[in-house]
């Protein structure tokens, strides 16, 4: 497991105004918390944060955090639990850091990576990846960067469930074992309208078969016989 380092400063004020001032000065607000940690308000350099998680593990990277201005200079091990990013500039706006203990299991999600070429694709099938992330539980030092799913044996109609994935010892899978990770399916057949064979008669609804007389047309202006007795006082047209 790759380890990164990050420096942060304590802050004693919060609010939108404080956050704007921090960002204007090239820093962003952050918060540190954990199962055994009292919440602390921090500020940090967003570029240093993005560098710290620029690894194959991404936000699952274990980060050694140093707090400037803290009474204790104890180094803490944290992970980025949540990262708010500007939707346009893609710049970090706020970070939640979660302090962990190396001897306690944690729950994280790791990416699923497809490897190999399915023979079913050459047969006209379509490879579908039904699972992008796998939820697991393990010690922080045992978190895999990802999990591979080999599709090199998949023919049309074959699939790989979560139960077939191979993970390191000590890693517990929390995702439902029956969930389909990848499958090769048959492409949906397009409906093609039937074309009549040359010389074949086409039956048209309402048409009269050859050799039969057409029914007599109703005379123009002919009235339909009225059912039931004529109502008293009813005028005839």
CATH code of 81's domain: 2.40.240.10
Task: Verify that 84 and 120 share a domain, yes or no.
Answer: no
**39, containing H or E segment:** strand 37-44
Domain count, the chain: 2
Q: Give dist(CA 153, CA 182) in Å, integer.
A: 12
Helix runs in the chain, H state only: 16-24, 46-52, 119-122
Give Rg (Cα) of the chain: 35
Sheet with 126-129, strands from edge to edge, namely 126-129, 180-185, 159-161
Is there a domain that residue 202 lies in? Answer: no
In terms of residue numbers, what domain contains 112? 106-185
d(CA 128, CA 105): 32
Which DSSP string corresponds to 131-188?
Answer: -SEEEEEE-GGG--S-EEEE-TT--TT-EEEGGG----TTPEE-S-TT-EEEEEEPPP
- C-beta of residue 52 within 8 angstroms of C-beta of residue 66: no
pLDDT (tens, 9 = 90+) of the chain, 237 residues, equals: 678 999 999 998 888 888 899 999 999 999 999 999 889 999 999 999 999 999 999 999 999 999 987 766 678 999 999 999 999 999 999 999 999 999 999 999 999 999 999 999 999 999 999 999 999 999 999 999 999 999 999 999 999 999 999 999 999 999 999 999 999 999 875 544 555 555 555 444 554 455 555 444 444 444 444 444 443 444 444
Q: Are residues 75 and 114 in the same domain?
A: no
Quick check: is 82 in a domain? yes
Both tokens assigned to 89? 């500039």
């Amino acid at each position: 497991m790759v380890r990164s380092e990050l420096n942060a400063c304590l802050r004693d004020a919060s609010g939108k105004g404080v956050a704007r001032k921090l960002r204007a000065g090239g820093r962003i607000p952050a918060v540190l918390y954990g199962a055994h940690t009292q919440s602390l308000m921090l500020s940090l350099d967003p570029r240093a944060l993005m560098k710290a998680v620029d690894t194959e593990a991404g936000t699952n990277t274990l980060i050694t955090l140093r707090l400037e201005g803290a009474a204790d200079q104890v180094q803490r091990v944290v992970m980025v639990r949540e990262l708010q990013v500007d939707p346009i500039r893609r710049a970090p706006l706020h970070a939640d850091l979660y302090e962990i203990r190396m001897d306690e299991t944690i729950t994280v999600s790791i990416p699923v990576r497809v490897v190999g070429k399915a023979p079913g694709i050459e047969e006209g099938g379509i490879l579908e990846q039904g699972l992008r992330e796998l939820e697991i539980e393990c010690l922080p030092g045992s978190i895999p960067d990802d999990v591979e799913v080999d599709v090199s044996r998949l023919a049309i109609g074959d699939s790989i469930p979560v139960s077939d994935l191979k993970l390191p010892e000590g890693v517990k899978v929390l995702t439902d074992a029956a969930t389909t990770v990848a499958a090769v399916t048959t492409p949906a057949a397009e409906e093609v309208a039937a074309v009549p064979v040359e010389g074949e008669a086409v039956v048209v609804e309402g048409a009269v078969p050859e050799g039969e007389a057409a029914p007599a047309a109703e005379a123009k202006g002919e009235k339909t016989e009225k059912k039931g007795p004529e109502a008293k006082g009813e005028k005839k047209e």
